[in-house]
Amino acid sequence: MFGKFYDYLIKTRFVLLGVLVFVCSIGLFVRQSLFGFDSYAWKQLVCTGWHATLNTNPLAPYFFELMPCNLLFFKMVMFVSLLLSVWFIFLIVKKFFEERTAWFSIFLLLSLSPMLLFEFGKFENELLAYPFIVFAIYSLLNKKWFAGLTGLIASLVFWGWPYYFTFFGGNVLEQQLFSGLLPLFGLIFVVPLIFLCKDKKILVGGLLSVAMFFWNAKFFIFLMPFMALGLGNLIEILRNREQLQNFVFILAFFLLFGFNVAFILAQPTNLEHEIIFEGVNYAKDNNLSLYNDWSFGYWILDKGLDTGVYGGGTDTNYFSLKKPFVAITSKDLSGMGCSLINQSSTLTRSIKLWKC
Protein backbone atom coordinates (compact mmCIF):
# COMPACT_ATOMS: atom_id res chain seq x y z
CA MET A 1 0.00 0.00 0.00
CA PHE A 2 2.82 2.40 0.88
CA GLY A 3 4.54 1.59 -2.42
CA LYS A 4 1.47 2.67 -4.40
CA PHE A 5 1.21 5.87 -2.40
CA TYR A 6 4.90 6.57 -2.95
CA ASP A 7 4.52 6.08 -6.71
CA TYR A 8 1.47 8.35 -6.62
CA LEU A 9 3.54 11.10 -5.02
CA ILE A 10 6.66 10.86 -7.13
CA LYS A 11 5.34 10.19 -10.61
CA THR A 12 2.83 12.98 -11.01
CA ARG A 13 0.91 15.12 -8.60
CA PHE A 14 3.41 15.85 -5.84
CA VAL A 15 6.03 17.11 -8.29
CA LEU A 16 3.50 19.22 -10.17
CA LEU A 17 2.16 20.59 -6.93
CA GLY A 18 5.71 21.46 -5.92
CA VAL A 19 6.10 23.52 -9.09
CA LEU A 20 2.79 25.30 -8.45
CA VAL A 21 3.69 26.09 -4.83
CA PHE A 22 7.14 27.33 -5.87
CA VAL A 23 5.67 29.68 -8.46
CA CYS A 24 3.09 30.97 -5.98
CA SER A 25 5.72 31.57 -3.28
CA ILE A 26 8.59 32.86 -5.42
CA GLY A 27 8.90 35.89 -3.13
CA LEU A 28 10.13 33.54 -0.42
CA PHE A 29 13.27 32.84 -2.45
CA VAL A 30 13.73 36.31 -3.93
CA ARG A 31 13.75 38.04 -0.55
CA GLN A 32 17.32 38.57 0.67
CA SER A 33 16.61 38.37 4.41
CA LEU A 34 14.25 36.72 6.86
CA PHE A 35 10.77 38.15 7.31
CA GLY A 36 9.30 39.43 10.56
CA PHE A 37 10.58 39.75 14.11
CA ASP A 38 10.57 36.32 15.78
CA SER A 39 12.31 34.75 12.78
CA TYR A 40 15.50 36.43 13.99
CA ALA A 41 15.17 34.87 17.43
CA TRP A 42 15.09 31.40 15.90
CA LYS A 43 17.94 32.35 13.58
CA GLN A 44 20.02 33.23 16.65
CA LEU A 45 19.21 29.86 18.15
CA VAL A 46 20.48 28.13 15.02
CA CYS A 47 23.55 30.31 14.47
CA THR A 48 24.74 31.10 18.01
CA GLY A 49 22.85 28.77 20.34
CA TRP A 50 20.99 31.72 21.92
CA HIS A 51 18.03 30.30 23.85
CA ALA A 52 16.62 33.03 26.12
CA THR A 53 12.94 33.48 25.21
CA LEU A 54 12.43 30.18 23.40
CA ASN A 55 12.26 27.90 26.44
CA THR A 56 8.45 28.00 26.54
CA ASN A 57 8.40 25.85 23.39
CA PRO A 58 8.57 22.08 23.91
CA LEU A 59 11.23 20.33 21.81
CA ALA A 60 11.46 22.70 18.85
CA PRO A 61 14.65 24.47 20.06
CA TYR A 62 16.56 21.18 20.04
CA PHE A 63 15.59 20.55 16.42
CA PHE A 64 16.58 24.08 15.41
CA GLU A 65 19.98 23.67 17.05
CA LEU A 66 20.69 20.85 14.60
CA MET A 67 20.14 23.08 11.56
CA PRO A 68 22.99 24.75 9.63
CA CYS A 69 23.24 28.54 9.79
CA ASN A 70 22.35 29.14 6.16
CA LEU A 71 19.67 31.44 4.72
CA LEU A 72 18.94 29.14 1.78
CA PHE A 73 18.45 26.22 4.16
CA PHE A 74 16.03 28.32 6.23
CA LYS A 75 14.05 29.08 3.07
CA MET A 76 13.97 25.40 2.13
CA VAL A 77 12.54 24.56 5.57
CA MET A 78 9.79 27.13 4.99
CA PHE A 79 9.10 25.88 1.47
CA VAL A 80 9.02 22.18 2.39
CA SER A 81 6.66 22.91 5.29
CA LEU A 82 4.38 24.86 2.94
CA LEU A 83 4.53 22.16 0.27
CA LEU A 84 3.70 19.30 2.64
CA SER A 85 0.83 21.28 4.16
CA VAL A 86 -0.57 22.18 0.74
CA TRP A 87 -0.19 18.55 -0.37
CA PHE A 88 -2.52 17.33 2.38
CA ILE A 89 -4.92 20.21 1.67
CA PHE A 90 -4.92 19.12 -1.97
CA LEU A 91 -5.78 15.55 -0.94
CA ILE A 92 -8.60 16.86 1.26
CA VAL A 93 -10.16 18.87 -1.58
CA LYS A 94 -9.67 15.96 -3.99
CA LYS A 95 -11.63 13.73 -1.63
CA PHE A 96 -14.74 15.90 -1.98
CA PHE A 97 -14.34 17.31 -5.50
CA GLU A 98 -12.96 16.19 -8.84
CA GLU A 99 -9.25 16.69 -9.40
CA ARG A 100 -9.64 19.68 -11.73
CA THR A 101 -11.45 21.54 -8.96
CA ALA A 102 -8.77 20.55 -6.44
CA TRP A 103 -5.99 22.08 -8.57
CA PHE A 104 -7.89 25.33 -9.08
CA SER A 105 -8.80 25.45 -5.40
CA ILE A 106 -5.15 25.20 -4.35
CA PHE A 107 -4.15 27.94 -6.79
CA LEU A 108 -6.85 30.26 -5.45
CA LEU A 109 -5.91 29.44 -1.86
CA LEU A 110 -2.31 30.46 -2.57
CA SER A 111 -3.17 33.56 -4.57
CA LEU A 112 -6.35 35.21 -3.25
CA SER A 113 -5.06 35.53 0.30
CA PRO A 114 -1.55 36.28 1.60
CA MET A 115 -2.05 34.08 4.65
CA LEU A 116 -0.03 31.06 3.51
CA LEU A 117 2.86 33.01 1.98
CA PHE A 118 3.29 35.34 4.95
CA GLU A 119 2.79 32.71 7.65
CA PHE A 120 5.04 30.09 6.07
CA GLY A 121 7.52 32.87 5.30
CA LYS A 122 8.33 33.19 9.00
CA PHE A 123 11.27 31.12 10.19
CA GLU A 124 9.67 29.94 13.43
CA ASN A 125 8.95 26.70 15.24
CA GLU A 126 5.37 26.39 13.97
CA LEU A 127 6.80 25.54 10.55
CA LEU A 128 7.59 22.10 11.96
CA ALA A 129 4.06 21.72 13.33
CA TYR A 130 1.91 22.91 10.40
CA PRO A 131 2.23 19.79 8.19
CA PHE A 132 1.29 17.56 11.13
CA ILE A 133 -1.81 19.67 11.82
CA VAL A 134 -3.04 19.52 8.22
CA PHE A 135 -2.23 15.80 8.10
CA ALA A 136 -4.35 15.39 11.25
CA ILE A 137 -7.30 17.18 9.64
CA TYR A 138 -6.91 15.03 6.52
CA SER A 139 -6.90 11.87 8.64
CA LEU A 140 -9.89 12.89 10.75
CA LEU A 141 -11.96 13.74 7.65
CA ASN A 142 -11.15 10.22 6.44
CA LYS A 143 -12.19 8.78 9.85
CA LYS A 144 -8.63 7.68 10.61
CA TRP A 145 -8.89 8.65 14.25
CA PHE A 146 -5.57 7.23 15.48
CA ALA A 147 -3.59 8.91 12.68
CA GLY A 148 -5.42 12.18 13.28
CA LEU A 149 -4.73 12.16 17.01
CA THR A 150 -1.11 11.20 16.38
CA GLY A 151 -0.71 14.15 14.01
CA LEU A 152 -2.07 16.59 16.58
CA ILE A 153 0.17 15.20 19.31
CA ALA A 154 3.19 15.41 16.98
CA SER A 155 2.40 19.08 16.32
CA LEU A 156 2.49 19.76 20.07
CA VAL A 157 6.08 18.59 20.16
CA PHE A 158 7.07 21.63 18.11
CA TRP A 159 4.32 24.16 18.85
CA GLY A 160 2.88 23.62 22.28
CA TRP A 161 2.88 27.11 23.77
CA PRO A 162 -0.10 28.60 21.82
CA TYR A 163 -2.24 25.80 23.20
CA TYR A 164 -0.93 26.31 26.72
CA PHE A 165 -1.48 30.06 26.69
CA THR A 166 -4.87 29.79 25.02
CA PHE A 167 -6.46 27.11 27.13
CA PHE A 168 -4.59 27.40 30.44
CA GLY A 169 -4.32 31.14 30.94
CA GLY A 170 -1.94 33.86 29.86
CA ASN A 171 -2.05 36.37 27.03
CA VAL A 172 0.23 36.88 24.06
CA LEU A 173 -0.17 39.95 21.85
CA GLU A 174 0.41 38.21 18.54
CA GLN A 175 -2.28 35.65 19.34
CA GLN A 176 -4.98 38.30 19.45
CA LEU A 177 -7.10 38.39 16.30
CA PHE A 178 -6.86 42.11 15.64
CA SER A 179 -3.16 42.48 16.47
CA GLY A 180 -2.84 42.13 12.70
CA LEU A 181 -5.61 42.17 10.10
CA LEU A 182 -3.65 40.11 7.57
CA PRO A 183 -5.26 36.76 8.52
CA LEU A 184 -8.72 38.24 7.95
CA PHE A 185 -8.02 38.93 4.28
CA GLY A 186 -10.02 36.50 2.19
CA LEU A 187 -11.68 34.99 5.24
CA ILE A 188 -14.90 36.97 4.94
CA PHE A 189 -15.79 35.88 1.42
CA VAL A 190 -14.41 32.33 1.58
CA VAL A 191 -15.80 30.97 4.86
CA PRO A 192 -19.48 31.36 3.84
CA LEU A 193 -18.76 28.97 0.97
CA ILE A 194 -18.11 26.25 3.55
CA PHE A 195 -21.83 26.29 4.38
CA LEU A 196 -22.62 25.23 0.81
CA CYS A 197 -20.84 21.92 1.38
CA LYS A 198 -23.23 18.99 1.60
CA ASP A 199 -20.93 16.81 3.66
CA LYS A 200 -21.57 17.30 7.39
CA LYS A 201 -17.92 16.61 8.25
CA ILE A 202 -16.90 19.71 6.29
CA LEU A 203 -19.54 21.86 7.94
CA VAL A 204 -18.71 20.73 11.49
CA GLY A 205 -14.96 20.86 10.93
CA GLY A 206 -15.20 24.22 9.20
CA LEU A 207 -17.26 25.78 12.00
CA LEU A 208 -14.87 24.39 14.62
CA SER A 209 -11.89 25.81 12.72
CA VAL A 210 -13.56 29.22 12.40
CA ALA A 211 -14.21 29.20 16.15
CA MET A 212 -10.58 28.28 16.87
CA PHE A 213 -9.35 31.01 14.52
CA PHE A 214 -11.43 33.70 16.24
CA TRP A 215 -10.40 32.32 19.62
CA ASN A 216 -6.72 32.54 18.68
CA ALA A 217 -5.47 33.90 15.35
CA LYS A 218 -2.37 31.70 15.62
CA PHE A 219 -4.62 28.74 14.81
CA PHE A 220 -5.13 29.94 11.23
CA ILE A 221 -3.67 26.68 9.87
CA PHE A 222 -6.72 24.74 11.11
CA LEU A 223 -8.88 26.92 8.89
CA MET A 224 -6.88 26.57 5.65
CA PRO A 225 -8.19 23.15 4.51
CA PHE A 226 -11.77 24.35 4.96
CA MET A 227 -11.05 27.57 3.11
CA ALA A 228 -9.76 25.39 0.27
CA LEU A 229 -13.00 23.38 0.36
CA GLY A 230 -14.96 26.63 0.32
CA LEU A 231 -12.99 27.69 -2.76
CA GLY A 232 -13.84 24.33 -4.29
CA ASN A 233 -17.49 25.26 -3.88
CA LEU A 234 -16.82 28.62 -5.51
CA ILE A 235 -15.21 26.94 -8.51
CA GLU A 236 -18.18 24.62 -8.90
CA ILE A 237 -20.59 27.55 -8.67
CA LEU A 238 -18.70 29.41 -11.38
CA ARG A 239 -18.27 26.39 -13.64
CA ASN A 240 -20.95 27.58 -16.08
CA ARG A 241 -20.36 31.28 -15.57
CA GLU A 242 -17.36 31.92 -17.74
CA GLN A 243 -17.13 35.69 -17.29
CA LEU A 244 -17.18 35.52 -13.50
CA GLN A 245 -14.76 32.63 -13.57
CA ASN A 246 -12.34 34.60 -15.75
CA PHE A 247 -12.63 37.59 -13.42
CA VAL A 248 -11.77 35.50 -10.34
CA PHE A 249 -8.70 33.95 -11.97
CA ILE A 250 -7.46 37.25 -13.41
CA LEU A 251 -7.86 38.80 -9.96
CA ALA A 252 -5.97 35.83 -8.48
CA PHE A 253 -3.00 36.35 -10.85
CA PHE A 254 -2.75 40.05 -9.98
CA LEU A 255 -3.04 39.39 -6.24
CA LEU A 256 -0.47 36.59 -6.45
CA PHE A 257 2.02 39.01 -7.99
CA GLY A 258 1.13 41.78 -5.55
CA PHE A 259 1.43 39.63 -2.43
CA ASN A 260 4.84 38.29 -3.50
CA VAL A 261 6.09 41.83 -4.08
CA ALA A 262 4.67 42.86 -0.70
CA PHE A 263 6.45 39.93 0.94
CA ILE A 264 9.76 40.86 -0.66
CA LEU A 265 9.39 44.45 0.59
CA ALA A 266 8.08 43.50 4.05
CA GLN A 267 9.91 44.20 7.30
CA PRO A 268 12.72 44.26 7.95
CA THR A 269 13.67 46.15 4.80
CA ASN A 270 17.27 46.67 3.71
CA LEU A 271 17.15 50.23 5.07
CA GLU A 272 15.88 48.99 8.44
CA HIS A 273 18.76 46.51 8.55
CA GLU A 274 21.14 49.40 7.85
CA ILE A 275 19.63 51.52 10.65
CA ILE A 276 19.91 48.68 13.15
CA PHE A 277 23.51 48.00 12.10
CA GLU A 278 24.32 51.73 12.28
CA GLY A 279 22.80 52.00 15.77
CA VAL A 280 24.70 49.00 17.11
CA ASN A 281 28.01 50.29 15.73
CA TYR A 282 27.35 53.84 16.96
CA ALA A 283 26.67 52.59 20.47
CA LYS A 284 29.77 50.38 20.52
CA ASP A 285 32.10 52.98 18.98
CA ASN A 286 31.00 55.70 21.42
CA ASN A 287 30.71 53.40 24.43
CA LEU A 288 27.01 54.25 24.88
CA SER A 289 24.09 52.15 26.07
CA LEU A 290 21.57 51.17 23.38
CA TYR A 291 17.88 51.06 24.24
CA ASN A 292 15.05 49.94 22.00
CA ASP A 293 11.39 49.09 21.57
CA TRP A 294 10.75 45.43 22.33
CA SER A 295 9.74 44.74 18.71
CA PHE A 296 13.21 45.63 17.40
CA GLY A 297 15.08 43.55 19.96
CA TYR A 298 15.66 40.45 17.84
CA TRP A 299 16.91 42.56 14.91
CA ILE A 300 19.44 44.20 17.22
CA LEU A 301 20.43 40.82 18.62
CA ASP A 302 21.02 39.64 15.06
CA LYS A 303 23.54 42.49 14.64
CA GLY A 304 25.56 41.32 17.61
CA LEU A 305 24.20 43.29 20.58
CA ASP A 306 21.89 41.85 23.24
CA THR A 307 19.93 44.68 24.89
CA GLY A 308 17.75 42.26 26.83
CA VAL A 309 14.59 43.94 25.49
CA TYR A 310 12.71 41.69 23.09
CA GLY A 311 9.28 40.08 23.15
CA GLY A 312 6.61 40.56 25.77
CA GLY A 313 5.12 43.78 24.40
CA THR A 314 6.55 46.10 27.12
CA ASP A 315 8.34 49.11 25.62
CA THR A 316 11.21 51.04 27.17
CA ASN A 317 10.40 54.26 29.04
CA TYR A 318 12.99 56.50 27.37
CA PHE A 319 12.05 59.56 29.45
CA SER A 320 13.26 57.86 32.62
CA LEU A 321 16.71 56.96 31.24
CA LYS A 322 19.91 58.75 32.12
CA LYS A 323 21.61 60.47 29.18
CA PRO A 324 23.62 60.00 27.06
CA PHE A 325 22.33 56.93 25.25
CA VAL A 326 21.33 55.68 21.80
CA ALA A 327 17.74 54.63 21.06
CA ILE A 328 16.15 52.58 18.29
CA THR A 329 12.43 53.22 18.52
CA SER A 330 9.29 54.12 16.61
CA LYS A 331 8.63 56.96 19.10
CA ASP A 332 9.40 60.64 18.57
CA LEU A 333 12.08 61.58 21.11
CA SER A 334 12.74 65.10 19.79
CA GLY A 335 10.77 66.53 22.70
CA MET A 336 13.39 65.28 25.18
CA GLY A 337 16.27 66.88 23.33
CA CYS A 338 17.34 63.86 21.24
CA SER A 339 18.76 64.26 17.75
CA LEU A 340 17.57 62.04 14.89
CA ILE A 341 20.40 60.17 13.17
CA ASN A 342 18.45 58.03 10.70
CA GLN A 343 14.92 56.75 10.09
CA SER A 344 12.76 54.54 7.88
CA SER A 345 8.97 54.47 7.61
CA THR A 346 6.54 51.97 6.10
CA LEU A 347 2.75 51.84 5.99
CA THR A 348 2.59 50.03 9.32
CA ARG A 349 5.67 51.04 11.30
CA SER A 350 8.55 53.49 11.57
CA ILE A 351 12.03 52.89 12.94
CA LYS A 352 14.18 55.81 14.13
CA LEU A 353 17.75 56.00 15.40
CA TRP A 354 18.23 58.70 18.07
CA LYS A 355 21.21 60.11 19.96
CA CYS A 356 20.06 61.36 23.36
| 157 in Cβ contact with 64 (< 8 Å) | no
pLDDT at 150: 94
Domain boundary among 264, 284, 300: 264
Residues 134 and 260 reside in one and the same domain: yes
Cβ pair 119, 213 in contact under 8 A: no
pTM for this entry: 0.88
| Percentage of residues in the chain having pLDDT higher than 90 | 46
Q: What is the mean pLDDT of each run of 10 residues along the chain (356 residues)?
A: 52 83 94 92 92 76 92 96 96 90 92 88 93 94 92 88 57 45 57 72 81 78 89 86 87 92 90 93 93 92 90 78 91 88 80 92
Task: State the average pLDDT for the chain.
Answer: 84
Question: Which pLDDT belongs to residue 79?
Answer: 97
pLDDT at 212 (0 to 100):
78
Q: What is the predicted pLDDT for the residue at 173? A: 45
Query: For residue 161, what pLDDT is reported?
Result: 66
188 lies in the same domain as 63: yes
Residues 256 and 275 in one domain: no
Domain that holds residue 199: 2-264
Domain limit, last residue, from 239, 264, 289: 264
Q: Encode pLDDT of 150-186 as tens digits.
A: 999 999 888 876 665 565 544 444 544 444 445 555 5
pLDDT digits over 35-61, tens only? 988 899 999 999 998 888 777 677 888
- Angle, in degrees to the nearest 10, between helices 99-111 and 71-96: 140
- Tens-digit pLDDT profile for residues 55-93: 767 788 889 989 999 999 999 999 999 999 999 999 999
* Inter-residue contact 28 to 75 (CB < 8 Å): yes
Q: In total, how many domains does the chain have?
A: 2
Q: In terms of domains, do 160 and 292 share one?
A: no
